[in-house]
A = this chain, B = another copy of it.
Amino acid sequence: MARPRSFDERAVLRTARDQFWSTGYAGTKIDDIAAATGLGKGSLYGAFGDKHALFLRVFDDYCTDAVDGTRRDLAGPDSGAYQRLRDHVFAIAEATGTDRDLRGCLLAKSTAECAEHDEAVAARASRAFRDLADQLTDCVTAAQRAGDIAGDQPPDRLAGLLLAVLRGIEALGKGGATPAALRAIAETALALLPKPVMETPRSP
């Protein structure tokens, strides 16, 4: 009953995300996004509202993707939980270390830039961090049930620490830390997780 959109909304959002990701909120011009997507400004404003609304949309999608990705990494049966945790931590360290243009993580970048003055960004970021912590907690709990992590520390505590380590790896990665250094941090963190007391085989 009317003229249809000539563009793929998700592709445009991805392009806009890359722009915000690369140059930050304040540093990104609507004209940059228009040029990168090939859309006129009228289409952008018509479809997504103003710059802030567009950013919020992009940021929300990014957070959702990030949380979903972590869920995919960590979800599963108790038996493999510890291994999944290890793999996840190493994967983050590896990804951060090999991100040679220092683009880092949009969640971290936007939180640093905007949380202070932008209530909406702060709220979304807060939820994302909470979701990430919850998933880590679930995975640690599973690993404890499986006997791969000792139960003498509350799982949410260990998860909180792991989340901090992950965010720290991200921050140090932006600061130019070498991939090897980031890997070492991941290794050390995992090495210090409390191991259950070795179950000595009983002789009859």
Spell out A's residues near B (CB within 8 Å).
22-24, 26-27, 101-104, 108-109, 111-113, 115-117, 122-123, 125-126, 128-129, 153, 157-158, 160-161, 163-172, 174-177, 181, 184-185, 187-189, 191-194
Among residues of B, the one whose C-beta sits closest to the C-beta of A107 is B175
Contacts of A126 in B (CB 8 A): 175-176
Q: Are A169 and B164 in contact (CB under 8 A)?
A: yes
Q: Quote the shortest CB–CB distance from A51 to chain B (angstroms).
A: 13
Q: Can you name 12 A-B pairs with beta carbons within 8 Å?
A: A23-B26, A23-B117, A111-B171, A115-B176, A125-B175, A126-B176, A129-B172, A160-B181, A161-B188, A164-B169, A166-B168, A167-B167
Q: Are B26 and A111 in contact (CB under 8 A)?
A: no
Q: Are A113 and B171 in contact (CB under 8 A)?
A: no
A13 to B125, CA, bound (A): 31
Among residues of B, the one whose C-beta sits closest to the C-beta of A129 is B175
* Selected contact of A22 from candidates B104, B116, B129, CB within 8 Å: B116
Q: Quote the shortest CB–CB distance from A167 to chain B (angstroms).
A: 4
Among residues of B, the one whose C-beta sits closest to the C-beta of A123 is B176
A192 to B154, CA, bound (A): 13
Q: Are B129 and A103 in contact (CB under 8 A)?
A: no
* Selected contact of A109 from candidates B113, B160, B176, B192, CB within 8 Å: B113
A24-B108 in contact given A157-B184, A194-B192 (Cβ < 8 Å): no
A102 to B112, CA, bound (A): 9
Q: Are B153 and A163 in contact (CB under 8 A)?
A: no
Q: Are A164 and B185 in contact (CB under 8 A)?
A: yes
Among residues of B, the one whose C-beta sits closest to the C-beta of A101 is B116
A172-B167 in contact given A160-B184, A193-B192 (Cβ < 8 Å): yes
Contacts of A129 in B (CB 8 A): 172, 175-177
Contacts of A164 in B (CB 8 A): 164-165, 168-169, 171-172, 185, 189
Q: Are A188 and B172 in contact (CB under 8 A)?
A: no
